[in-house]
Amino acid sequence: MHIVSHTKSNQRVLALMYFVTAGQVAPRDFAVHLFRALYEYGSLSLAHGDQPHRGSCYSFPEELLSWADAVATCETAGAHLVTINDRFEDAFISSQLGEMGYRVWIGMNGTIAEDGAVTFNWVTGEPVDFTNWDEYEPNPEHGVCVSASGHKSSPGLWMIWKCEEAYRFICEYYRDGYNPNTPTTTEPPGVNCAIGWTHKGDRCYKIFQDPLSWGLGEQFCLAYGAHLASINSKDEEGIILAISKNSVIFIDCLI
C-alpha cells in the first residue's frame, strides 16, 4: 500500500472516498456542512429508478418546473416536494446531486413580514430544525423559494431563487408501512450506495481521477459528504487495494 504525503501536491493521484453508515460528524469549512451518510432502510416499495433512504423513497423527475408546479406534481403522485430534516438526509440528497450540475427545488419557501423578516417553512408543515444555506444565503432579494445546488463544487447547498424559475425537483414519499413519527430502533441490514459508488462491507467507495493535494482531496471528498478513505483493518486494506488496482492514492493519513 502506497501512502502519499500531503506535501507531494504536484502528483496526479486518485482520490478515494467513502460514505460511512454511522459514526462521527464530519463538518467542512470551505463550502457546506455535509456529513458521512447514514443509510437505514428495511422493507421498501419503490417505483423503478427511485432511491431509498431510511424511511423514505425519493424520485428525481426530468421535468423543469416552477416551484409551485413542482409542489403540485409531487402531490399528484402521492408524494411531496422533498423535506430535508437532518444532516444524514442532507448528505444522502447531496450524494444524488453532486454530479448533476444543476439546482433542484426542495420543499421549502419563505413568507416575508411587513418588517422584511423572512420565515421559512416546509410544505409538509414540519418544523425547520435543520438548514444548509450557501454563503450569503438566505437572500430574499433573489426570491422566496428554496433550491439545492447540484453543482459538483457545492452539492446540496441551499439557495433562495425566484419561484417562477423552472428547475428539476425531488419528490419524497414514505415507504410502505413506515410511520414517520415512529423512530427507527433496529440496526440497518445493509447499505444503499449512490449510483457510481462501490459497495463493500458497510461502506461505499468511489475513485476520482483528479490531480489534487491531500488537503484539496479531503475538501473534494467533503463536498460529497464523505472523507478520504480510512484503513482500519487488513480486510479494509484489501478492499481498497482491489478497488484502486494498486494505484497511488491519498488516504486519511499523513506521514
Q: What is the pLDDT of residue 224?
A: 67
- Report yes or no on 63 lying in a domain: yes
Those residues with Cβ within 8 angstroms of residue 212's Cβ, 6 or more apart along the chain or in another chain: 13, 15, 220, 250
Share of the chain above pLDDT 90, in %: 27
Angstrom distance (rounded) from CA 26 to CA 49: 29
CA-based max dimension of the chain: 62
DSSP state of 79: -
**What helix, strand, coil percent values describe the chain, rounded to 5?**
15, 25, 55
Q: What would the mean pLDDT of 155-174 be, rounded to a whole number? A: 92
- Report yes or no on 19 lying in a domain: no
Least confident window among 76-80, 159-163, 249-253: 249-253
Which cell goes with 19?
460514505
Whether residue 144 contacts residue 111, with contact meaning beta carbons closer than 8 Å, is answered with: yes
- Report yes or no on 28 lying in a domain: no
Q: Which residue has the higher pLDDT, 59 or 51?
A: 59
Share of the chain above pLDDT 70, in %: 61
Q: What would the mean pLDDT of 67-94 be, rounded to a whole number? A: 93
In tens, the pLDDT along 226-248 reads 777 777 677 777 777 777 765 55
CATH at residue 57:
3.10.100.10
Find the domain containing 165 and state its range. Answer: 51-174
- Report yes or no on 85 lying in a domain: yes
- Report yes or no on 140 lying in a domain: yes
Angstrom distance (rounded) from CA 166 to CA 103: 10
- Report yes or no on 21 lying in a domain: no
Whether residue 69 contacts residue 121, with contact meaning beta carbons closer than 8 Å, is answered with: no
> What total of structural domains would you count in the chain?
1
